[in-house]
Each structure stands twice: as C-alpha cells, then as structure tokens.
C-alpha cells in the first residue's frame, strides 16, 4: 500500500495489519518530497510490543528534532507516561498522554516538551493502563515510532529498547 503523497499539508494516520496463521513482517516507509531538494526516506519495521515500557534516545540539539507517534491499538483507554532524561540521567520533563481506543498522536518532542529543546538524552514511554488477557494477567499493547529529523529534511528511525522494569 502506498500513498500518492500529493497533499499540500502533512496528513497523519496509521494502518492496522491483521495476520491469521502465518508470521508477517510489515515495513513502513516515510517519504518527504520538497521541491528543489532530494526526497528523504526512513523505513521502520512494524511490530506490536507487549512490554509496558520502551526507551528511545532523543536529540533536540543543533536544529535536530525527535518526533514520535503513539497508537493505542487496544480496545480500552490507555495512558502513557513520557519521561525525558538528559545525557547525565537527570530528569528533564515528564507528562502523561491519554489515548482512546484506536486513537493516535504524533508530535515533535521539542515542541510538546519545551524543556527538551537543545538537549540530548533518552525518553522513557510507559503504558500504565492495561487490559487483562485470557489468563488474568495484564497484557499491555503499545505501538510507538520515534524518528530523528535533521534540519536539512533527512530523517532516521531511532531504536526502541524494551525494558520490563524501567532503568
């Protein structure tokens, strides 16, 4: 599936991929086309995490911007606690994002969390609302994408680290 990308403004959204019997790999490519300069692309492999805490680096220095998108792919309201730490482990900013079932949010960390401007470090995203699975234990679902944008327009996918106990 490919979008024609002909809109005059940026459009946000997400797709849900459901598999039945076999394994599947989904790769999404984000492409930016601006007249007068080369196209820029970043590709990510789709996955659904059942780990309630994910860690990713962020870099909002020298005109760079770290953007993120969270999708609540679950059937219940979900709350996500976003905590940013600087390169020395000091707390920079923290806030909660609440999403309805099927809702998503995408933003620049420097724009939404102004304390992260001109800082580099790690962000911790923890899902605090869980859904019981058939065995009675909580089974959280989190779909998260983190991209780093260069002031020239290029972007790169930031790695996500699964942590069950935090850090």
Q: Token pair of 65, please?
A: 């911007």
Q: Token pair of 87, please?
A: 């390169």
Residue ranges per structural domain of the chain: 48-162
pLDDT digits (tens, 9 = 90+) for 118-136: 999 999 988 876 555 555 5
CB neighbour list of residue 127: distance below 8 Å, 6 or more residues apart: 52, 53, 78, 79, 80, 140, 141, 142
CATH architecture assigned to 48-162: Sandwich (2.60)
pLDDT digits (tens, 9 = 90+) for 71-117: 887 777 888 899 999 999 999 999 999 988 888 888 999 999 999 99
Between the CA atoms of 134, 140, 143 and 144, what dihedral angle is there, to the nearest 10 degrees? -170
Q: Token pair of 1, please?
A: 């599936």
This prediction's pTM: 0.76
């Amino acid at each position: 599936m490919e979008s024609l990308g002909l809109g005059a403004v940026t459009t946000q959204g997400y797709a849900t991929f459901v598999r039945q019997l076999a394994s599947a790999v989904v790769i999404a490519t984000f492409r930016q086309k601006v007249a007068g300069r080369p196209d820029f692309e970043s590709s990510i492999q789709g996955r659904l995490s059942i780990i309630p805490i994910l860690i990713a680096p962020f870099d909002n220095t020298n005109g760079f911007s770290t953007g993120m998108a969270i999708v609540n792919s679950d059937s219940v309201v979900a709350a996500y606690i976003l905590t940013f730490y600087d390169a020395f482990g000091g707390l920079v900013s923290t806030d909660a994002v609440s999403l309805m079932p099927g809702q998503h949010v995408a933003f620049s960390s420097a724009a939404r969390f102004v304390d992260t401007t001109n800082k580099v470090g790690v962000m911790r995203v923890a899902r605090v609302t869980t859904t019981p699975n058939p065995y009675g234990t909580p089974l959280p679902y989190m779909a998260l994408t983190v991209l780093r944008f260069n002031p020239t327009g290029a972007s790169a996918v930031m790695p996500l680290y699964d942590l069950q106990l935090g850090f």
